[in-house]
Chains A and B, each alone.
Chain A
């Protein structure tokens, strides 16, 4: 069952990602944006499969919900139509760079699967392939442990729930965020605070700086 879900989500993510960049499938930016939304949703599914529940929800809320909406807003603001075709002005061709990028991907992928005989290939690294102290182990211990007088199902169920609560849930992530990773968390809030007026000013139409005369009407006000 899991495998089916995985293939579904993974395939969906990859296919829609390809759709984002291929001008054949997505001629306008709007098409690309919608394809990207599909990618994000599929990714959220993958996150859920990885028992990262809170992040799956966040992915949908923030990425697909906020960021992509922002993208769409901007696209509509700029009123972009078809991407201008025609010969690119730079010297290197698209084919060349594409080939280069694909070669890079293959190279790194090969690294992952140890195809190049690297000693750091994942196949030979036991610590990674073993699940370790993940929730599965916890569940396994729950099932094998003696629960005493309580009815087996209930205790085991509670134990299992406890296990799943300790990993990937809001509680565990929140606990980490507010203890070990408090400083990055706070800095993040400051970053967002800075980004807010920054984006405001950058996107302003007529920027009146103190001391300068009335701001000139900016060009490019066409539709």
Chain B
């Protein structure tokens, strides 16, 4: 392998970090979800990198599962966003505060 895996891992890390930034910073719920997807993809990349380096396909299976779960989660999350939007009239994450202690 000519490309050291640390490069791949760095990319994955950066993607993960950008995902965290998105979650912590943006107010729009949709963009928040996008951030979550970014994080998941970063994890996927890590899985595949290590799978390639160890030489077996276990990482591929994990990545496969992650993709499927991400799909389900995105579906549910967006459904909830729809329901909340009908109640509150906005998708601003700061508006959803009724669980404030």
Contact = CB atoms under 8 A, between A and B. Distances in A.
A195 B76 CA distance: 7
Contacts of B3: 2-3, 6, 49
Contact of A219 (B30, B67, B73, B89): B89
A96 to B, nearest CB: 9
Contacts of A94: 25
Contacts of B49: 50
Chain A residues touching B, range: 35 or more
Interface string B1-34: 1111111111101111111111011111011011
Contacts of B19: 17
Q: Which 3 residue pairs of A and B lie closest in terms of their CB atoms, listed nearest first?
A: A105-B17, A133-B55, A202-B79
A46 B8 contact: yes
B2 A220 contact: no
Nearest to A29: B30
Contact of B51 (A33, A46, A52): A52
B71 A128 contact: no
Interface in A166-223: 167-168, 172-173, 176-177, 180-181, 184-185, 188, 191-192, 195-196, 198-200, 202-203, 205, 218-222
A137 B55 contact: yes
B2 to A, nearest CB: 5
Interface of B: 1-11, 13-22, 24-28, 30-31, 33-35, 37-38, 41, 44-45, 48-58, 60-61, 63-65, 67-76, 78-83, 85-92, 94
A82 to B, nearest CB: 10
A221 to B, nearest CB: 7
A131 to B, nearest CB: 5
Nearest to A187: B65
B41 A63 contact: yes
Interface string A67-81: 100110011011010
